Structures are given as C-alpha cells and as structure tokens.
C-alpha cells in the first residue's frame, strides 16, 4: 500500500510527491537502499515531469463563406490557437489561391481568397494549419454570378420584375439591386426564387430620361448588369 504525505512543484513545473510505501516492487531510480530490512514501510520521493504539447488550432467561423469565379474575397476566420507568423489557411480543390494571411491574435485572422475563372462551383473545405496540427474544416461555396435575362416593367413609375439565373437560391438579405445614374432608387428587394427577384424602383420627378443600367449583386462581389 502506498500512502501520500505531501506534494510540491518546482520552478520548472516538475511535481514532487512524498509518502510511504509497503510495496515490494515500487519503481525506483538510484534508490538510497533497495529494501529496508528494519521496517515494513519505506519512505519515497517521486518526481513527475509533465510535457504539455501546444494545441492544434480549431476553426469556428469563415465569413463570408461564398464567392464567385474571377473574384477576390476578403475573408475573416475565427477560432482558437492561431499562431502569429505561423498559420496557413488551406482551401480544398483547385482554383482558389490564399494570400495575405494576417493573424491578429490567437482567435482571429484575415486572408484573401482569389477564385480563378476556371474554378469549379460547389462547396470547398477551409482549414487552418500551424506547426501544432490542422484544424477542423468549414465550408466555403463557389457560386456562379447572377445573370439578368429580362426586365418587365409593372407600371410607368415603379415596380419591376428581374429575371435572374445562377442555379442557386438567392436569399433576399444577400441580394441587392442598384440603378445607374441619378434619380432612381431601388428598394424592397424580394427574392421569390433563384430566377425571379422583384424590386421597387422609385423615380424622382427630376430624374433625367433615357436608358439606365440595372445591376444585381449577390455576396460577396458577384454581379450582373443589364
């Protein structure tokens, strides 16, 4: 039987434990005497040295988490155990180059994702790597930019229907419409489905006549103009 008596930690983080033992095979190193013949118990001092390895990084968010071919997306990544001047950002597949990795602290970094025009659409996996290991993966989606196919005017002053196709659902919070020139404001964007958003156009009384360009933008920078 082993009996604990006391414990202390030195300046190097090593732990010393003292007590008594009645064990006949207690592990020893350079023992003062291998066996005590005068008592059924022996005193012991045990040194325990800990080796704590740094943790591998973890990834919590990637924002924004989508982009279009032929664009550069500035991305913010959050997580844990990022290393200043020692962290790489990896994107699975081909056609996405990661540059400008800047670790502000152990929980946040920024990087630029340059998406080649030939990059295939779909979901990629983003991971963070340090000398201590590689993080879990989070998705980053490559989408084709929207294309305006037609504009149907509901009445002379306001209300238009824009035909948009890109093969993906366009949430209203992520789609904006802009009109070139002055005097025409776009508002109330409502994405009915991936090919039919609606928008309210308000034309000022002093707006000049003539053709205007209408631009539809989806995050982070994909747009179409007609």
DSSP percent split of the chain into helix, strand, coil, nearest 5:
0, 55, 45
Tell me the C-alpha distance between 113 and 39, whole Å.
73
Contact 217, 145 (CB under 8 A): no
Looking at residue 162, its pLDDT comes to 42
Q: With the C-alpha atoms ordered 71, 76, 79, 84, is the resulting torsion angle positive or negative?
A: positive
Could you please report the per-residue DSSP string of 29-53? SS-S-S--SS-S-EEEEEEE---PP
Looking at residue 33, its pLDDT comes to 62
Tell me the C-alpha distance between 73 and 97, whole Å.
10
Establish if 212 belongs to a structural domain: yes
Domain boundary among the residues 99, 117, 142 is at 142
Establish if 215 belongs to a structural domain: yes
Q: Say whether both 33 and 66 belong to one domain.
A: no
The list of the chain residues with pLDDT below 50 reads: 154-156, 158-169, 172-173
Q: Say whether both 154 and 192 belong to one domain.
A: yes
Say how many domains are in the chain.
3
Structural domain boundaries, residue 127: 58-142
Looking at residue 111, its pLDDT comes to 97
Contact 96, 117 (CB under 8 A): no
- State the CATH number of the domain containing residue 93: 2.60.40.10
Domain boundary among the residues 109, 142, 175 is at 142
5-15 pLDDT, tens digit per residue, is: 899 988 888 89
Q: Say whether both 107 and 68 belong to one domain.
A: yes
Residue bearing tokens 């989806």? 218
């Amino acid at each position: 039987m082993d009996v604990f008596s006391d414990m202390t930690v030195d300046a190097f983080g090593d732990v010393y434990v003292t007590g008594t033992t009645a064990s006949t095979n207690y592990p020893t190193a350079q023992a003062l005497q291998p066996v005590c013949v005068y008592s059924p118990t022996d005193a012991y001092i045990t040194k325990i040295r800990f080796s704590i390895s740094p943790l591998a990084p973890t990834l919590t968010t990637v924002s924004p988490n989508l982009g279009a071919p032929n664009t550069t997306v500035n991305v913010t990544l959050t997580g844990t155990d990022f290393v200043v001047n020692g962290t790489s950002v990896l994107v699975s597949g081909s056609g996405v180059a990661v540059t400008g990795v800047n670790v502000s602290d152990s929980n946040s970094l920024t990087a630029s994702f340059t998406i080649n025009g030939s990059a295939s659409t779909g979901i990629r996996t983003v991971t963070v790597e340090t000398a201590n290991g590689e993080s879990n993966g989070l998705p980053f989606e490559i989408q084709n930019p929207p294309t305006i196919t037609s504009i149907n005017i509901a009445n002379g002053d306001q209300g238009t229907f824009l035909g948009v196709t890109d093969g993906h659902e366009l949430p209203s919070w992520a789609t904006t419409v802009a009109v070139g020139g002055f005097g025409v404001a776009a508002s109330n964007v409502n994405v009915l489905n991936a090919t039919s958003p609606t928008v309210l156009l308000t034309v000022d009384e002093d707006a000049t006549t003539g053709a205007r360009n209408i631009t539809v933008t989806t995050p982070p920078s994909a747009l179409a103009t007609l």
